[in-house]
A and B are shown apart, each in its own frame.
Chain A
Amino acid sequence: MIPLISTYRSIRFLIVYRGLLGLSMLLLAAIMLSLAGCHYPTDIEHSLDKIKGGVIEVGLTENPPWVIRTPDGPAGLEPEIIERLAGQLNAEAHWHWGEESDLLQALKERQLDLVAGGLTQKAHLSKDAAPTKPYYKSHYMVGFPSSIAMPDSLEDQAIAINAVNHIGKVLRDKGARPNLKTDAKSLAGTDGPVAEQAWWLRAHGFEPGPWTLASDKHVMALPKGENAWMIVLQRQLNSYPDIERRLQQLEANE
Chain B
Amino acid sequence: MKIRAVYKLPPDKQDDLNYLIRLEWWNLGFRCSIIVLMFLVLGSSQAMKAAWLDDVFSLVPPVAFLVAMHFRDQPPNKNFPYGYHRATVIAFLCASVALTLAGSFLLVDSAIKLLEVEHPSIGAIELFGETFWVGWLMIPTLIYSIIPPIIIGRLQVRAAKKMHEKTVFVDGKMSKADWMTGLAAIMGVLGVGAGFWWADALAGGLIGIDVAKDGIKSLREAVGDLLDRRPRFTSKAEPEGVVEQLEAKLRAMDWVVSAEVRLREEGHIFSGEAFVVPHSNEDLARRLVEASRQLVDHDWRLYEVVVTVMPDDDATRSVSSIRAAGSPPLS
Q: Is B14 an interface residue (CB 8 A)?
A: no
CA distance A22 to B146 in the complex (A): 14
Using known A-B contacts A132-B123, A133-B125, determine if residue A42 contacts B187 with beta carbons closer than 8 Å: no
What CA separation (Å) do A36 and B133 show in the bound complex?
15
Q: Quick one: which of B119, B124, B133 contacts A225, CB cutoff 8 A? A: B119
A226 contact set on B, CB distance < 8 A: 119, 121
Q: By the criterion CB–CB under 8 Å, are A126 and B44 in contact?
A: yes
Q: Are B196 and A234 in contact (CB under 8 A)?
A: no
B183 adjacent to chain A (CB < 8 Å): yes
Residues of B within 8 A of A132 (CB): 123-124
| B residues less than 8 Å from A126 (CB atoms) | 44
Q: Do A235 and B131 form a contact, CB below 8 Å, given A226-B121, A230-B121?
A: yes
Q: Kindly list chain B residues whose C-beta atoms are within 8 Å of the C-beta of A3.
A: 237
Residue from A25, A223, A231 in contact with B133 in the complex, judged by beta carbons closer than 8 Å: A231
Q: Is A234 a contact of B122 with CB atoms below 8 Å? A: no
User: How close is A119's CB to chain B, nearest CB, in angstroms?
Assistant: 15
A227 (CB) vs chain B CBs: closest residue: B122
Q: Across the two chains, which residue of chain A brings its CB closest to B179? A: A22
Q: Given A33-B194, A227-B121, are A41 and B133 also a contact pair (CB < 8 Å)?
A: yes
Known: A227-B133, A231-B132, A239-B131. A133 touches B119 (CB 8 A): no
Q: Quick one: given A132-B123, A133-B125, A226-B121, are A234 and B192 in contact (CB under 8 Å)?
A: no
Q: Which residues in B have their C-beta under 8 angstroms from that of A234?
A: 123-124, 126, 131
Complex CA distance for A218 and B38, rounded to whole angstroms = 25
Return the chain B residue nearest A126 by Cβ: B44
Interface residue A2 (Cβ < 8 Å from any Cβ of B): no
Q: Which residue of B lies closest to A35 (CB)?
A: B194
Q: 1/0 per position for A10-38, CB-CB distance to B under 8 A?
A: 00000000100110010011001101100
B228 within 8 A of A: no
Alpha-carbon separation in the docked complex, A41 to B191 (Å): 9
- Taking the complex as formed, is B190 at the interface, i.e. its CB lies under 8 A from any CB of chain A? yes
Q: Does A170 contact B (CB under 8 A)?
A: no
Q: Note all chain A residues with C-beta closer than 8 A to B44.
A: 126, 130
Contact A235 B124 (CB under 8 A): yes
In the bound complex, do residue A29 and residue B190 qualify as a contact, i.e. CB atoms below 8 Å apart? Answer: yes
**Would you call B61 an interface residue if the criterion is a C-beta within 8 Å of the partner chain's C-beta atoms?**
no
Instruction: Determine the chain B residues whose CB is within 8 A of the CB of A165 once the complex forms.
Output: none
Indicate if A238 sits at the interface (CB-CB under 8 A).
yes
Is there a chain A Cβ closer than 8 Å to B184's Cβ? yes
In the complex formed, the residue of B with least CB distance to A46 is: B195
Q: How far is A102 from B263 in the complex, measured between Cα atoms in Å?
A: 70
- Whether B237 pairs with A227 at a CB distance below 8 angstroms is no
* Chain A, residue nearest B236 (CB): A7
Please state if B197 and A40 are interface contacts (CB–CB under 8 Å).
no
* Chain B residues whose CB sits within 8 angstroms of the CB of A191 once the complex forms: none
Q: Mark B186-210, 1 if CB is under 8 A from A, else 0.
A: 1100111111110100000010000
Q: Mark B226-247, 1 if CB is under 8 A from A, else 0.
A: 0000000000011000000000
The answer to whether B125 touches A32, judged by C-beta atoms less than 8 angstroms apart, is no
A130 and B193: CB pair below 8 A? no
Whether B238 contacts A133 by the Cβ 8 Å rule is: no
Tell me the minimal C-beta distance from A81 to chain B in angstroms: 14
Assess whether A7 is in contact with B237, with CB atoms less than 8 Å apart.
yes
Please name the residue on chain A nearest to B132 by beta carbon.
A231
Contacts of A36 in B (CB 8 A): 193-195
Give A7 to B237 CA distance when docked, in angstroms.
Answer: 8
Q: Is the CB of A22 within 8 A of B183?
A: yes
Residues of A contacting B132 in the complex (Cβ-Cβ under 8 angstroms): 231
Contacts of A164 in B (CB 8 A): none
Given contacts A32-B190, A224-B120, contact A238 B126 (CB under 8 A): yes
Q: In the complex, what distance in Å separates the CA atom of A144 from the CA atom of B206?
A: 59
User: Shortest CB–CB separation between residue A134 and chain B, in angstroms?
Assistant: 10
Which of A7, A22, A40, A41 counts the most chain B CB atoms within 10 A?
A41
Knowing A25-B183, A41-B133, A231-B131 touch, does A133 contact B191 (C-beta < 8 A)? no
A7: nearest chain-B partner, CB-CB: B237
A-B contact pairs, 23 of them (CB 8 A): A22-B180, A25-B183, A33-B194, A35-B195, A36-B194, A42-B195, A44-B119, A44-B192, A44-B195, A44-B196, A45-B119, A132-B123, A132-B124, A133-B123, A133-B125, A224-B119, A226-B121, A227-B121, A227-B122, A231-B131, A231-B132, A231-B133, A238-B131
The 3 closest A-B pairs by CB, nearest first: A225-B119, A41-B193, A130-B121
| Chain A residues at the B interface, C-beta cutoff of 8 Å | 3-4, 7, 18, 21-22, 25, 28-29, 32-33, 35-36, 40-46, 126, 130, 132-133, 222-227, 230-231, 234-235, 238-239
